[in-house]
Structure 1
Amino acid sequence: MRFFVALFAMLAALATPVLADPADVEAASRGVVRVVIIGNDGPELLPVSHGTGFAVGRERIVTNAHVIRQALEDERLAIGIVPADGEEAVYARIVAVSERNDLALLATTSNLGLPPLTISGNPPTSGAVIAIGYPANVDLAQGLEFADLFRAQPPVTATGFLSGRRPSREMDTLLHTAPIAAGNSGGPLVDECGRVIGVNSFGAESQGSDAEFFFAVSTRELLPFLRANDVSPQMSSGACRSLAALDAEEQARRDAEAARIAAASRQSAEELAARTGELRRTAGYAVMDERANGMALAFLALLVATAAGLVAAWFHVRQELRRRAVAGALALAALIGGVVAWFTRPPFEEIDRRVEDALHDEARGADTGPVVAGGAGGGDYICTLDESRSRVTGAPARDLPFAWREDGCVNDRTQYGRTDGTWARVFVPANEAAVSVNRFDPASSELTMERYLLGREAMTQARTARGGFTAPQCGASEAEARAFGTAQDAVTSALPSTPNERLVYRCTASAPEGES
């Protein structure tokens, strides 16, 4: 019964609507920039106008064509890129402009380390959307001066709803209600997982109490534009799912598995009890038969011994010594045989012994499963992404070769650390604002990768913590692996409570070379 209750709970969790994590939009915001058109009056730089853009690759920024139109028309104007996080602003040059669909691609003059935004490969047709950008009316309300536009500031996020797709101005656009204003142009329109579904471009004029609608250039326009300019954007086509929902599903799955194991154990116990009863009956009948046969044989031997004894006595009276000796020997032999038959009868405890032996032989005969390469002792795997248990925000590999050694070495080059029976490796790159934590469970052959997208300050702390220890080379001893696992806790303890991305891979032993 518990199995079905747990199974129902798991199905209910799977059917529960999922809500994305706010951290996803925050992470996407760190790849959004202010695009400033700059003039000069002698040595002084003067902002002429500004819009918004977002990173789609290393040193590549997307914005609207109309945002940079002034710089196109007047070569004395420059384009500045101001990141949302940090202190450094840089210049940009124009790579490509498409007036038809109001798109422009810029290249920064130096690498700002901006995290590229992921573009949805399967954008929604309805639901909540978020506009990210730098609306000028917010700057005005804050009393910002033009010079303040060169300071790094987080962009503004505004939530609305997707109202459909419709062609306009000879391009494919998305109609939505997430408020945008002058300055938002060129900024991303994202889903709840922070994935780009459009580039905000313009708004509909509102008359009095009329509802306000806004337009974003769709990814149907954006993707061909990027590819035509040698940009391979990071894409994700999976469903937008929250980690809370995934955790609930995992807990329901564990409960269902525990209930299944308990039910199987009860069934096995019942089957064992039934089998034990059957063996006990069989052994009981056999022992009782053997005991009865022994008693009958002893009684028969006693009769023979008695008869032979009487005959011996008769021959003794008649003084026939030879015949007396033969009869006496027969009597003694029969008596000894009867005693032996009586005392060699199987005891009742023999029933239990025979049942145990039979169960042991059956268990040994059933343990004939194939030996699988890999497991806790190490081996070569192919790990396949389990999308039903993953939260995908980027563009991960679907299949990974994974050579595991029992000392925690992966692919003969990367040593994992061990903490409380868990093997893990923390990766803190120097040129990317993200921390990845990979964990492998040899018992279940399951690889989990969690990725944390961090701001500048948090990333600096992570790099500082990572600089406090050195990763051992492959082939580390048990003590070294444990010390390394403990050292990595300095990084993981400073990470947010939940990652932005979780990838669960199911690993199976790969066939030896030459086999298929």
Structure 2
Amino acid sequence: MTRILCLLALLLALAFPQTTNADPADIDAAARGVVRVVIIGSSGEEVYPVSHGSGFAVSATKVVTNAHVVREALLDDTLRIGIVPSEGEEAAYGKAVSVSPRNDLALIEITEGSLRLPPLTIAGGAAGDMGEVSSVGYPMNVDRAQGLDIGDIFRAQPPVKSRGFLSGARPSRQFDTILHTAPIARGNSGGPLLDACGRVLGVNSFGADSDGSDAEFYFAVSNRELLPFLRANEVEPRTNSLPCKSIDDLDAAERARLEQQRSDARERLEARENELREKRDRARFEAQLSVMDERENALALALILLMVASAAGYIGWNARQQEESERRAMIGFAVAGLSLVGAIVLWITRPGLEEIDRRVQAATGSENQDGGQNPDSLASEGTLLCSLLPDRSRVTSARTDDVEFDWAADGCVNTRTQYGYLNGDWTRVLVPDDEDAVSVNHYDPKTRTFRTDRYLLGRAAMSQAREARGEYSPPSCGVTDAARTLGEQQSGVLSLLPNRPNERLVYSCEPSPTRRATSSTGDSEE
């Protein structure tokens, strides 16, 4: 019964990941790449906003928005396009490098300023007809409600996020759109419509007129329009077509999988014990028969020898008493002596009852030794090639290429990068300077499982992580207690991370056919 319940839990966890609501951490991570697109006028040295909309990064320096957001700037060369990020102090100016009024899309490239943006990931699959979605952008009515002044428009502000549901694909007369109920208002135009994993499903464009009495619906330009538009402008966006699963889904499935493995192991152990018990009982029965036969044979032969010894002794004694041939007497006594010695030897060397236990152990001992897992199957040193396990992974933006690396028993990767060892876990924490994400790599030599947990952090949290990372220098491979030392050093960074990662990439590793070490695990931050 336990096995059946575990199997049902595993199947349910794998079959219904789409029922999970949007993870706020994913929406927050995507929102960091959403910007306010401001059309800026000037009067002498003073600048002022003429209008504004929203947009989102598709590369570090390129932003997608609606064509109608930048329309005024295209018709008046005294107006400029400003890009205001959601966090930080670096605003920038840009220019429209491509505008497509037909499907209400525009591509802006940053031309002035050092601003670099985290690009959003585009959902590679179809949006479907149902499911939770989020609109992210800068609605003007929220600005007015907060009493923001002109200067606030040019200052970084977190975008507004609203939730709703997909209501189906609804092509307009000109282009393909997605109908949804995640509220947008003036100013939201050009912002992304996100799925539950924070991936872009479309570009919010306009809403249906409800006259305050009908249900409100909103339209987004679908990815069927967006992706060809980007590629036509030589932008190759990040795309992801994997199913959207939450970390909770994965944890539940992993618990069910481990419980199933334990249940299977218990069943195999019970079957093995039953098999060994049967073999032991059979071996004991056979040993008992064999030992008893040998004992009886030895006793019978000893008895025969005693009888021969008695007869030979009698013949020799009789020959001496009758003063017959001395030679005959000596032969009789010799045969008697040898027979007696033989009988004694047979009596002494006959198998005892303890021989039964020894033979049972000899018959079942090798089986017990072979019953454990073959140590060769746990060999983990050398060059490994690791492939992603999609059913155990949650990927929203990370690359999913195969990973190849050289592993040593002391936790040294590629002969140069030391992994830390703490609480039975081999880990390496990576805090890069060029990306707002902390990666924690795990490797389990027993199961040859490589895992990367990625935490997509805001700038403040990322600054804290970099500061904590700067407080220690990882020990080199081969240094005494290097693994334990690094395990303790990394705990400072780990304590700053959220309870759950945004992404989890799980790989299964096998010996690489090329048997060559590479540096493809990302363990090269030094």
Q: TM-score range by the shorter chain?
A: over 0.9
Which residue identity is paired with 1:341? L
- The two structures have a TM-score, normalised by structure 2, of 0.93
Q: Secondary structure at the match of 1:211?
A: coil
- The two structures have a TM-score, normalised by structure 1, of 0.94
User: In the TM superposition, what whole-angstrom CA distance separates every residue of 1:115-169 from its partner, at most 9, and x where no partner exists?
Assistant: 2111100133121111111111111111111221111111111111111112214
Structure 1 Cα separation of the partners of residues 13 and 176 of structure 2: 37
User: In the TM superposition, what whole-angstrom CA distance separates every residue of 1:26-63 from its partner, at most 9, and x where no partner exists?
Assistant: 11111111111111122111111110011111111111
Is 1:11 the counterpart of 2:11 in the alignment? Answer: yes
Q: Secondary structure at the match of 2:301?
A: helix
Moved more, 308-317 or 483-492: 308-317
Q: Secondary structure at the match of 1:162?
A: strand
Tell me the equivalent position of 2:361.
Answer: 356
Tell me the equivalent position of 2:501.
Answer: 499
**Cα offset, 1:419, TM superposition:** 2.1
Q: Which of residues 304, 308, 316 in structure 1 aligns to 2:312?
A: 308
Tell me the equivalent position of 1:229.
Answer: 233
Change (3 A) 1:452 1:204: same
Map 1:61-80; keep pairs closer than 5 Å.
Answer: 61-80=63-82
User: In the TM superposition, what whole-angstrom CA distance separates every residue of 1:102-121 from its partner, at most 9, and x where no partner exists?
Assistant: 11111123343422111100
Unaligned ranges ≥5, structure 2: 517-526
Moved more, 459-468 or 429-438: 429-438
Structure 1 Cα separation of the partners of residues 451 and 426 of structure 2: 11
Which residue identity is paired with 2:188? N
User: In the TM superposition, what whole-angstrom CA distance separates every residue of 1:376-415 from its partner, at most 9, and x where no partner exists?
Assistant: 3x21121110000000101422322222223323234433
**Cα offset, 1:472, TM superposition:** 3.5
Tell me the equivalent position of 1:434.
Answer: 437
Which residue identity is paired with 1:325? M
Structure 2 Cα separation of the partners of residues 267 and 181 of structure 1: 66
Is 1:331 the counterpart of 2:331 in the alignment? Answer: no
Which residue identity is paired with 1:348? L
Structure 1 Cα separation of the partners of residues 166 and 360 of structure 2: 71
Tell me the equivalent position of 2:521.
Answer: none
Q: Secondary structure at the match of 2:490?
A: helix
Q: Which of residues 466, 477, 492 in structure 2 aligns to 1:463?
A: 466
Change (3 A) 1:133 1:277: same
**Cα offset, 1:367, TM superposition:** 9.0
Change (3 A) 1:179 1:63: same
Q: Secondary structure at the match of 1:309?
A: helix
Is 1:186 the counterpart of 2:190 in the alignment? Answer: yes
Moved more, 221-230 or 162-171: 162-171
Which residue identity is paired with 1:353? R
Provide the identity percentage.
53
Contact 1:85–1:153, Cα closer than 8 Å, also in 2: yes
Q: Which of residues 259, 265, 288 in structure 2 aligns to 1:261?
A: 265
User: In the TM superposition, what whole-angstrom CA distance separates every residue of 1:183-210 from its partner, at most 9, and x where no partner exists?
Assistant: 0000000011110000001111113421
**Cα offset, 1:358, TM superposition:** 2.2
Tell me the equivalent position of 1:404.
Answer: 407
Question: Root-mean-square deviation (CA), in Å?
Answer: 2.0
**Cα offset, 1:20, TM superposition:** 3.6
Structure 1 Cα separation of the partners of residues 337 and 484 of structure 2: 77
Map 1:320-399; keep pairs closer than 5 Å.
Answer: 320=324, 321-362=326-367, 371=376, 375-376=379-380, 378-399=381-402
User: In the TM superposition, what whole-angstrom CA distance separates every residue of 1:78-105 from its partner, at most 9, and x where no partner exists?
Assistant: 1111111122222112221111111111
Map 1:67-216; keep pairs closer than 5 Å.
Answer: 67-108=69-110, 109-125=112-128, 126-216=130-220
Q: Secondary structure at the match of 1:6?
A: helix
Contact 2:382–2:515, Cα closer than 8 Å, also in 1: no
Change (3 A) 1:513 1:470: closer
Structure 1 Cα separation of the partners of residues 366 and 420 of structure 2: 42
Contact 1:3–1:263, Cα closer than 8 Å, also in 2: no
Change (3 A) 1:447 1:110: farther
**Cα offset, 1:420, TM superposition:** 2.9
User: In the TM superposition, what whole-angstrom CA distance separates every residue of 1:252-277 from its partner, at most 9, and x where no partner exists?
Assistant: 00000011111111111110111111
Tell me the equivalent position of 2:2.
Answer: 2
**Cα offset, 1:448, TM superposition:** 0.3
User: In the TM superposition, what whole-angstrom CA distance separates every residue of 1:322-367 from its partner, at most 9, and x where no partner exists?
Assistant: 3333222222221111111111101111111112122234567889
Q: Secondary structure at the match of 1:397?
A: coil
**Cα offset, 1:11, TM superposition:** 2.3
Change (3 A) 1:55 1:476: farther
Which residue identity is paired with 2:463? T
Tell me the equivalent position of 1:34.
Answer: 36
